[in-house]
Amino acid sequence: MSSTISSNLSTIPQNPTPLSLGTLCKSLAISGLILFLFYTFLFNPPNYRPSDLLSTINQKWPTSSPIISTNSTKTNISHIVFGIVGTMDTWSNKKAYIEAWWRPNVTRGYLFLDRPPTEEFQPWPSTSPPFRVNEDITKLKVFPKIPRPSHVRIVRTIMETFRQGDKDVRWYVMGDDDTVLMVDNLVEVLAKYDHTKSYYIGSNSDCVKSNLDFSFNMAFGGAGYALSYPLAEALATKLDDCIERYPDMYVSDFLLHSCLADIGVALTQNKGFHQIDLHNDISGLLSAHPQTPFLSLHHIDTIDPIFPSMDRFESINHLMKAAKTDQSRLLQQTICYHRQNTWSLSISWGYSTYIYENIIPRSILWRPLETFRPWVADWTPPLYMFNTRWPSDNPCEVPHLFFFDSIEHIEGDQIVTTYVRALPRGLPTCSFAGNHSADPITKIKVFSPASTRLEGGGRDCCDIEYMDGANVTEVKYRACMKYEVIA
């Protein structure tokens, strides 16, 4: 909702200075060079042994999060209050998305509506968040100067959520009625920050243009974002003054960013929140999620169903089957190689598995296949905030696609997720590499541990078990060995 605005932003002034453009070009050139060196380095020696250099790099990698802990108890789900912005007109459409993640009597929070529920929604079900009706802003002195009252209603929802007066709150997490949130992962991520300090945690848009139009340092509300208690408190006392200061700043996310900037608080970026300012098929993106807990998905109605054989509601509920079992691994990308057949497997846990008939370095497989289009179609590259791979028709580059089908808990404390082939690939075998066809495979079974969560920002390693000609491949997850190189 607060996000479907990227198309008419021309009133917000843009000044890309030559300096910033120059810096951008320079950093692009440098990153291109680094990528080239990295690719050459990884790709050339087939019987590669870890050198001291790589081991050191490896060692330094996983510690990027700003872990600040207080001496209080660990943050859990009851410390979060959710504030969801909806409208009565769209609720019947969006209800299923909210109920897919909302946990009655466990998650605390409210759905804020523009007007009281009509008769068809009465009595209000206990499977939905309790509703509140937003305050009437026509009474604000500044109201006549506000061009888009709905956006002021959206931003005031934070204040109105705070004013519900819930006790023992550490975080307020805000989202739209078409935002699907991953509650367990949110708890894990927020627990790493000091809730007694001021934090504004979220993510900017997937599309460069959306960020350019607003700000690269603004949380896009549809993706969901979190405010620590002290910050929500400060905002609740200062928000109406801020609205008076900027009555014509009509986009809610930008208004919030501006009000927080005036308090001195900048965005803490987290790549797990997904605004999805994209169209069409986002399977390429969901199959190469960054190495960070998956926190949210938005704009479900403006993209294709995320599973090709299902509608949108079924798709979300299907993903939640995996989410309910192990959110820590959900969409986390695990890559391993079958040397004998010269295959690469890339698993996005609980979502998809790709088999390539070739050995492709992880650095390349981490780039999403560009199956989607940007929010604004006629824009010039760079389109996205991440690198992509353009889908090709080269049999050595096109994966065999398998999507998540079922999940079960088996003996030995293992979770088995099964992925089935979406379509025949319809291409000849990659004869340049091993010349081993993956066409016979119809199903992939992935075994992961049931009781060890994947540490935020961590990765699993895996081994592939496959007998030539068989129609099932098995993949066993395991902890990576110290300094293990997967190449």
Ligand X SMILES: *[C@@H]1O[C@H](CO)[C@@H](O)[C@H](O)[C@H]1NC(C)=O
Asked if 423 touches ligand X (CB under 6 A), the answer is no
Binding to ligand X (CB under 6 A) within 19-58 occurs at none
- 26 vs 197 by CB, closer to ligand X: 197
Binding to ligand X (CB under 6 A) within 61-100 occurs at 71, 73, 76-78
Asked if 471 touches ligand X (CB under 6 A), the answer is yes
Between CA 482 and CA 121 the distance in angstroms is: 56
Beta carbon of residue 438, minimum distance to ligand X (angstroms, whole number): 13
Beta carbon of residue 78, minimum distance to ligand X (angstroms, whole number): 4
Instruction: Please select the residue that binds ligand X; options are 15, 63, 126, 380, rule is CB under 6 A.
Output: 126
Beta carbon of residue 156, minimum distance to ligand X (angstroms, whole number): 28
Beta carbon of residue 75, minimum distance to ligand X (angstroms, whole number): 8
Size of the site for ligand X (CB under 6 A): 13
Binding to ligand X (CB under 6 A) within 430-449 occurs at 431, 435, 442
Beta carbon of residue 432, minimum distance to ligand X (angstroms, whole number): 8
Amino acid, res. 67: I
Asked if 468 touches ligand X (CB under 6 A), the answer is no
Instruction: Please select the residue that binds ligand X; options are 63, 105, 122, 451, rule is CB under 6 A.
Output: 105
- 32 vs 125 by CB, closer to ligand X: 125
Q: Measured at CB, which residue is nearest to ligand X?
A: 104
Instruction: Please select the residue that binds ligand X; options are 11, 27, 64, 127, rule is CB under 6 A.
Output: 127
Beta carbon of residue 247, minimum distance to ligand X (angstroms, whole number): 40
Q: Please report, as ranges, the residues that interact with ligand X according to CB under 6 A.
A: 71, 73, 76-78, 104-105, 126-127, 431, 435, 442, 471
